[in-house]
Amino acid sequence: MEDLPLLYLDLKLKTKRKLRKYQHLLTKETDAVVTIESENLMICNAGLVSGNQREELVQFFSSFGAIEEVSMSPGKSYSFIKFKRTHDAIKAFKEVNGQKGLPSMDSCLYLLFVNKVPPLSVYEDVLPPGLLLLENFINEHEEEMLLNCVIWSSVDSDQEKCLKHRQVKHFGYEFRYSDNNVNKDAPLMESIPQECGFLFERLSKSRPELSLWMPDQLTVNKYEPGQGIPPHIDTHSAFNDPILSLSLNASIVMEWRNSERQHFSVLLPRRSLLIMSSESRYAWTHGITPRKTDILKNHEGNLTVCAREVRVSFTFRQLRREGPCMCQWPKFCDSQTPKTETQVDRLTEDCASKLEKIYVHQVYNEIASHFSDTRHKPWPNVLSFVMSLKPGDILLDVGCGNGKYFGHNKYIVEIGCDRSSNLMEVCTTRGFQVFQCDCLVLPLRSCTVNACISIAVIHHLSTQERRKAAINEIIRVLKPGGKALIYVWAKNQNKEEMSSYLKQDRKNRRKSAETSVNHTKFISLDESNYPKTAPDDQIRSFGVTLPVHSNRTNFQHNNLLVPWILKHGDSKNVEEAPTFLRFYHVFEEDELVQLCISIENCSVERSFYDQGNWCVILVKS
């Protein structure tokens, strides 16, 4: 940022500090810049958002000379004044800066010279994608009739709540603000008033694609001036697409925001119908800022401040009954994201072990031969750990798979274990010393091995407790001073250069991995997706839904199912190849270290990122 011009030198330190902050705001939010002196002033801390009125600014600043223009933008706490003569602007600048000025304000005023008055950001005519506004959807009689359908009682009832922000009444089903959902099994006594029927007949004429759409839930919101509704996305799993909102009795400005920080202020005129669908319904928040005025364009196209009046809105929705939401915006979708993630961690021991049995052990057993064919090249950092061991050291590989780290260091004793008997067979054929066991219960005496490796194993355990228990078990069997090397899959596959996992996809090799998108499919572990291996009753008891990962893309979730497409030696036909799903918990940065720190007799000697994995070297104390 450029420093302030010389003229500002005379000002107090505190004022200069404040002005530098406002200079930053100016360059961030507008295309104007600070100048030495000009006829234009930025009034840094008086604007519509801070509750200042145009008239008040005009009155105050006119005392310095004739004003040509006052510009106030909605949503801003600053404004701009253009004097007719630079001389008068300088006068105002010198007298007002850092001083108490406006009668309505307790705090000091701050001014900056700017090269121009930046253009106003007014309500754009563009709307978020998928949002549609039908103006004059109803006439005044219909408006009155609809307003009369709702009888507001003065006492709080269950269906009619006076929320902090506004008064609400539900028809058809109650929308619970506590968990932002509806109880689909408990319809209300009062269904949507019959008087609303004409709206949907009319809608189907102008919007044929909605001719079959019928709401079964209605929320009536009543906003007194000063009240609003916090920004939100109507819960995906609760309602279908679209959602309609009819504005009655008064106009209001609704704010729309997306995750790319785009922001639209949309004026909802009285008697208009707003149709929120697709992206606007699923990926943009909407809300009404609690305030007593809105800034509207008048007939001449100028902005004016309008006092809000009581607005009543009818929000019509249709309950989602055909299973979870399958929208394209999983990031905002409660059907697709957070619930499943946390649910896995809350599984009981019994369920967690069943989940692993079906989605890890049985899968590896079935794919053992194909899996082993794809696992030849040892990772260099693991190999150098193995090679660093002293002659006579005992190395245990927990989850050794096909034994790809065995046979490199000729001077050590190597033993391996794995859950999969078929992988054990591969090892035995190769002449390695292995036994079959679960990594949670190693059949070894405590303090017996000099070193341990566990590569890409612990991420197959479904709860944090079980992952911790597995590391605990490794530490237990280590001799004091012994070391363990642990690798787990990282959620972030782009930490350094692209990991080899992502690189294997030719498309990704070309494009930046940053942009690799993932259209997630979800599988409920309740519905048997594993007819071959999983008896119904086992799957049913999980009660979790997990996202299915698109291979060779970045991870979008921590708990997920990763497909393994089984190709037999003879068949090249991918279509016929059965797909198996493996459970993974992919780790956040530092998660593995934190887990290890919480374990007794164990210190973290080194932690690093290697080929898409978070890795630690642990030492037993």
- How many C-beta neighbours within 10 Å does residue 410 have? 6
Q: Does residue number 219 form part of the binding site for ligand AKG (CB under 6 A)?
A: yes
Site for Zn ion in 236-275 (CB under 5 A): 236
Task: Closer to ligand AKG by CB, 210 or 456: give it.
Answer: 210
Pattern 463-502, ligand AKG, x by CB under 6 A = ----------------------------------------
Alpha-carbon span 250 to 227, nearest angstrom: 13
3-state DSSP helix/strand/coil % of the chain, to nearest 5: 25, 25, 45
Alpha-carbon span 575 to 443, nearest angstrom: 42
Q: How far is the CB of 323 from Zn ion (least distance, A)?
A: 12
- For ligand AKG (CB under 6 A), the number of binding residues is 8
Alpha helices in 519-607 (DSSP H): 536-540, 591-597
Q: Does residue number 281 form part of the binding site for Zn ion (CB under 5 A)?
A: no
With CB under 5 to 8 Å by kind, the binding choice for 245 among Zn ion, Fe ion, ligand AKG, none is ligand AKG
Q: Which of 120, 196, 327, 383 binds Zn ion (CB under 5 A)?
A: 327
Task: Closer to Fe ion by CB, 280 or 516: give it.
Answer: 280
Q: Which of 88, 143, 160, 234 binds Fe ion (CB under 5 A)?
A: 234
Q: Which residue of this chain has its Cβ atom nearest to ligand AKG in the complex?
A: 313
Pick from 394, 605, 404: nearest CA to 485: 605
Q: How far is the CB of 286 from ligand AKG (least distance, A)?
A: 6
Give the burial class of 131: count Cβ atoms within 10 A of its Cβ; 0-12 exposed, 13-18 middle, 19 or more buried. Answer: buried
Q: Residue 193 corresponds to which amino acid?
A: P
Residue 539 near residue 525, CB atoms below 8 Å: yes
Task: Closer to ligand AKG by CB, 233 or 382: give it.
Answer: 233
Rg (alpha carbons) of the chain, rounded to whole number: 33
Alpha-carbon span 221 to 191, nearest angstrom: 16
Pattern 265-304, ligand AKG, x by CB under 6 A = ---------------------x------------------
Residue 308 near residue 225, CB atoms below 8 Å: yes
Q: How far is the CB of 548 from Zn ion (least distance, A)?
A: 16
Stretch that binds Zn ion, among 52-60, 327-335, 380-388, 575-583 (CB under 5 A): 327-335
Stretch that binds Fe ion, among 192-200, 220-228, 229-237, 440-448 (CB under 5 A): 229-237
Q: Does residue number 229 form part of the binding site for ligand AKG (CB under 6 A)?
A: yes
Q: How far is the CB of 235 from Fe ion (least distance, A)?
A: 9
Q: 301-305 long-range CB contacts below 8 Å, 24 or more apart?
A: 303/72, 303/74, 303/120, 303/122, 305/48, 305/53, 305/54
Q: How far is the CB of 335 from Zn ion (least distance, A)?
A: 5
Per DSSP, the three-state class of 425 is helix
Residue 332 near residue 236, CB atoms below 8 Å: yes
Q: How far is the CB of 232 from Fe ion (least distance, A)?
A: 6
Q: Does residue number 315 form part of the binding site for ligand AKG (CB under 6 A)?
A: yes
DSSP string, 188-253: -SS-S-GGGHHHHHHHHHH-GGGTT---SEEEEEEE-TT--EEEE---TTTB-S-EEEEEESS-EE
Task: Closer to Fe ion by CB, 230 or 380: give it.
Answer: 230
Task: Closer to Zn ion by CB, 325 or 442: give it.
Answer: 325
User: Hey, what are 87's tokens?
Assistant: 């001389």
- Residues sharing a CB contact under 8 Å with residue 410, sequence separation 6 or more, in sequence order: none
Site for Zn ion in 197-236 (CB under 5 A): 236
Task: Closer to ligand AKG by CB, 5 or 230: give it.
Answer: 230
Q: How far is the CB of 182 from Fe ion (least distance, A)?
A: 13
Binding site for Fe ion (CB under 5 A): 234
Footprint of ligand AKG on this chain (CB under 6 A)?
219, 221, 229, 234, 245, 286, 313, 315
Residues contributing to the site for Zn ion (CB under 5 A):
236, 325, 327, 333
